[in-house]
């Protein structure tokens, strides 16, 4: 069945249909309606429902016109011709679809007054109120919001045409159902800054397009700049001016991506990076997974990527877990307790806390009463104080994947970076957005780009390490619109996209997993009271107090229950980085 015939079939069946996706009541006179747009079964696409808006009818009431207007907004990206028909000429001149998209809850409250006479025109004012869920920025970032969205919309009765909207705030307003129907959470992969052999994920919301597969929508967006969260922090393997000519299924079920533009097919120095961006951006959005990907330039083969071929583009360092007992760092085994690591960090010592392990676990940092010290995990290693400051003046040390050590100097209000490779004193890193902030924690992500930090007792922020004009901590924003409702006791990076936040409330503790892309919060159930948390992807550990008052290490199971990993004399679970 062609797309045209599907539309006609849907129209015939839509004589009276609920305004799907807006939570509103039935609009008479056969509209609006939706059609399924499955991409003709193309495995490179995803099925979705496309709103078909209906132009306003002379017999419609003011409420019907407002509901039809909202449907026209939902359909605007696919068909921008219907919405202007709801506006008076004056309103059309002043209204613009540009700017962020407002996302509201499906439940709206309408308040229509009795109308009034404005000169020769009958005026109807409509007050609209709904909980605002989010904004979708022009860079496709999904930003959670809290509170109510309230606007007043004026309509006038036009002779022979019915009601038209006389005043309309700029921008598009969609419901949650509209967004769920037409948008998809999408992961784009860019190159880590500073020449790192690492991909960095950028989570956005992309609108599906009837005339293009989802795979093509993803790659066309990948050619653009990253979202504001990663501006200046990541790079790309695509030369400026590269275009996506087509994305299709080829022979042997391979995915064929045809590019054009200034790609030098004789210079393969950037081939690995370009192919990695394409493969991860398609695979990790459940498009082309398990399939060979062939990239062409102007129709000629450029490179071929085999399924499951991994060159370490998402490497997180050593996959090992550790813990502290009696001031000494130990490694864990599958059964539980393991031996002490080599060197001074594996020897019992009082006064050392907040241990942190470098990427391969070969360097250990710890906080003391006078500063932060570092030692190699070797028999010949010795503790060396590399940053001075009282415990209350320095945040716990955090390793970067490049081997540098970071902390925030609360006394002087500056970010400090120490590089063991040079041995020079710790250097200040510019962080203009943090001026005057009460920074209480700072943790570098394993991707080497993002930074999570807390201010005061209960605010969580995320930023990025940018390179333009020198190394800076920039792009800092509040991580979630939801109030933690208590005091933050600990936090840790779980993976490239999620942070674990341990919060103490009057009613008890909660452990939240926060998605750094859209701010979504998932609560992990707790049984014991926790003191510390550590994580590496699916592996989550926590320090807890047993019923007998002993310190133990717990492990989170796949069913979200906790099991005992080490029964006693175990503190501070650790993973390299994070």
DSSP 473-534: EEEEEES-SS---SEEEEEEE-SSSEEEEEEEETTEEEEEEEETTT--EEEEP-SSPEEEEE
Task: List, in order, residues 6 or more apart from 562 with CB less than 8 Å away.
Answer: 526, 527, 528, 542, 544, 554, 555, 556
**Tokens standing for 59?**
């017999």
Q: Please state which CATH number belongs to domain 322-574.
A: 2.120.10.30
Residue 523 CA to residue 570 CA, distance in Å, equals: 25
Identify any residues that bridge with 220 across adjacent strands, giving them in sequence order: none
Residue 563 CA to residue 555 CA, distance in Å, equals: 5
Please give the angle made by the CA atoms of 477, 479 and 483, to the nearest 5 degrees. 120
Task: List, in order, residues 6 or more apart from 47 with CB less than 8 Å away.
Answer: 36, 37, 38, 39
The b-or-e profile of 141-180 (16+ CB within 10 A means b, else e) is bbbbbeeebeeebbbbeeeeebbbbbbbeeebbbbbbbbe
The answer to whether the beta carbons of residues 488 and 451 sit under 8 Å apart is: no
Residue 38 CA to residue 566 CA, distance in Å, equals: 51
Residue 368 CA to residue 390 CA, distance in Å, equals: 8
Which residue is listed with tokens 């999620």?
498
Question: Whole-model pTM?
Answer: 0.90
> Regarding beta strands 530-536 and 521-524, do their DSSP bridges make them parallel or antiparallel, or are they unpaired?
unpaired
pLDDT at 4: 34
Residue 339 CA to residue 243 CA, distance in Å, equals: 55
Q: Please state which CATH number belongs to domain 53-181.
A: 3.10.450
Length of the chain measured in residues: 578
- pLDDT tens, residue order, the chain (578 aa): 333 333 333 333 332 232 333 333 333 333 455 555 555 567 788 777 777 899 999 999 888 898 899 999 999 999 999 999 999 999 999 999 999 999 999 987 767 654 554 544 578 888 888 999 999 999 999 998 889 999 888 999 988 899 999 988 899 999 999 999 999 999 999 999 877 789 999 999 999 998 899 999 999 999 999 999 999 999 999 999 999 999 999 888 899 999 999 999 988 888 999 999 999 999 999 998 889 999 999 999 999 998 877 778 999 988 899 999 999 999 999 888 999 999 999 999 999 999 999 999 999 999 999 999 999 999 999 999 999 999 999 999 999 999 999 999 999 999 999 999 999 999 999 999 999 999 999 999 999 999 999 999 889 999 999 998 899 999 999 887 666 678 999 999 999 999 999 999 988 899 999 999 988 899 999 989 999 999 999 999 999 988 888 899 999 999 999 999 999 999 999 999 98
Q: In whole angstroms, how far apart are CA 533 and each of 137, 175, 439, 499?
A: 33, 37, 19, 11
Identify any residues that bridge with 408 across adjacent strands, giving them in sequence order: 415
Q: Which DSSP helix (H) or strand (E) runs through 296?
A: strand 293-297
Domain ranges of the chain: 53-181, 185-305, 322-574
pLDDT at 20: 32
pLDDT at 337: 92
**Alpha-helical regions (H) of 83-241:** 89-94, 176-182, 214-222
pLDDT at 36: 57
Residue 192 CA to residue 198 CA, distance in Å, equals: 5
Q: In whole angstroms, how far apart are CA 576 and each of 158, 184, 320, 365?
A: 68, 33, 7, 11
pLDDT at 14: 33
**Alpha-helical regions (H) of 232-380:** 271-283
pLDDT at 6: 34
Residue 428 CA to residue 432 CA, distance in Å, equals: 12
Identify any residues that bridge with 571 across adjacent strands, giving them in sequence order: 324
End-to-end alpha-carbon separation of the chain, Å? 51
**Tokens standing for 261?**
């533009």
């Amino acid at each position: 069945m062609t797309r045209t015939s599907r539309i006609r079939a849907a129209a015939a069946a839509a004589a009276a249909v609920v305004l799907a996706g807006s939570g509103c009541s039935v609009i008479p006179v056969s509209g609006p309606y939706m059609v399924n747009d499955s991409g003709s079964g193309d495995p490179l696409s995803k099925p979705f429902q496309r709103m078909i808006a209906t132009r306003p009818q002379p017999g419609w009431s003011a409420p019907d016109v407002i509901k039809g207007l909202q449907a026209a907004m939902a359909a605007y990206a696919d068909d921008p011709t219907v919405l202007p028909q709801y506006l008076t000429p004056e309103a059309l001149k002043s209204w613009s679809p540009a700017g962020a998209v407002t996302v509201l809850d499906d439940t709206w409250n309408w308040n229509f007054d009795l109308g009034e006479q404005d000169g020769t025109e009958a005026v109807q004012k409509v007050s609209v109120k709904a909980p605002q869920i989010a904004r979708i920025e022009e860079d496709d970032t999904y930003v959670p919001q809290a509170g109510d969205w309230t606007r007043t919309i004026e309509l006038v009765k036009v002779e022979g045409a019915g009601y038209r909207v006389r005043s309309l705030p700029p921008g598009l307003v969609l419901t949650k159902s509209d967004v769920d129907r037409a948008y998809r959470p999408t992961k784009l992969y860019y190159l880590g800054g500073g020449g790192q052999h690492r991909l960095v994920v950028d989570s956005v919301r992309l609108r599906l397009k009837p005339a293009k597969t989802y795979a093509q929508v993803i790659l066309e967006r990948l050619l653009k700049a990253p979202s504001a969260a990663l501006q200046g922090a990541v790079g790309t393997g695509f030369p400026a001016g590269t275009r996506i000519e087509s994305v299709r299924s080829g022979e042997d079920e391979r995915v064929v991506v045809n590019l054009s533009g200034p790609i030098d097919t004789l210079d393969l120095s950037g081939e690995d990076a370009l192919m990695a961006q394409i493969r991860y951006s398609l695979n990790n959005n459940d498009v082309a997974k398990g399939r060979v990907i062939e990239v062409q330039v102007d129709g000629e083969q450029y490179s071929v990527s085999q399924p499951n071929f991994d060159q370490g583009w998402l490497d997180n360092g050593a996959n090992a877990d550790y813990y502290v007992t009696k001031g000494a760092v130990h490694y864990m085994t599958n059964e539980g307790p393991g031996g002490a690591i080599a060197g001074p960090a594996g020897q019992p010592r009082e006064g050392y806390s907040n241990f942190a392990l470098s990427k391969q676990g070969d360097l250990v940092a710890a906080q003391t009463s006078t500063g932060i010290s570092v030692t190699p995990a070797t028999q010949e290693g010795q503790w060396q104080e590399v940053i001075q400051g009282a415990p209350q003046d320095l945040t716990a040390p955090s390793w970067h994947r490049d081997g540098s050590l970071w902390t925030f100097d609360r006394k002087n209000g500056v970010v400090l970076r120490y590089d063991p490779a040079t041995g020079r004193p710790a250097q200040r890193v510019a962080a203009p957005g943090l001026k005057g902030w009460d920074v209480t924690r700072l943790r570098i992500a394993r991707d080497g780009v993002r930074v999570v930090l807390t201010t005061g007792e209960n605010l969580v922020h995320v930023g990025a390490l940018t390179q333009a004009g020198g190394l800076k901590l920039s792009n800092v924003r509040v991580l979630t619109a939801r109030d933690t409702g208590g005091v933050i006791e600990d936090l840790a990076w779980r993976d490239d996209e999620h942070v674990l936040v341990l919060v103490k409330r009057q009613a008890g503790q909660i452990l939240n997993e926060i998605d750094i892309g859209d701010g979504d919060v998932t609560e992990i159930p707790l049984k014991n009271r926790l003191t510390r948390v550590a994580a590496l992807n699916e592996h989550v550990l926590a320090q807890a107090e047993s019923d007998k008052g002993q310190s133990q290490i717990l492990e989170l199971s796949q069913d979200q229950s906790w099991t005992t990993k080490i029964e006693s004399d175990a503190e501070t679970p650790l993973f390299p980085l994070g």
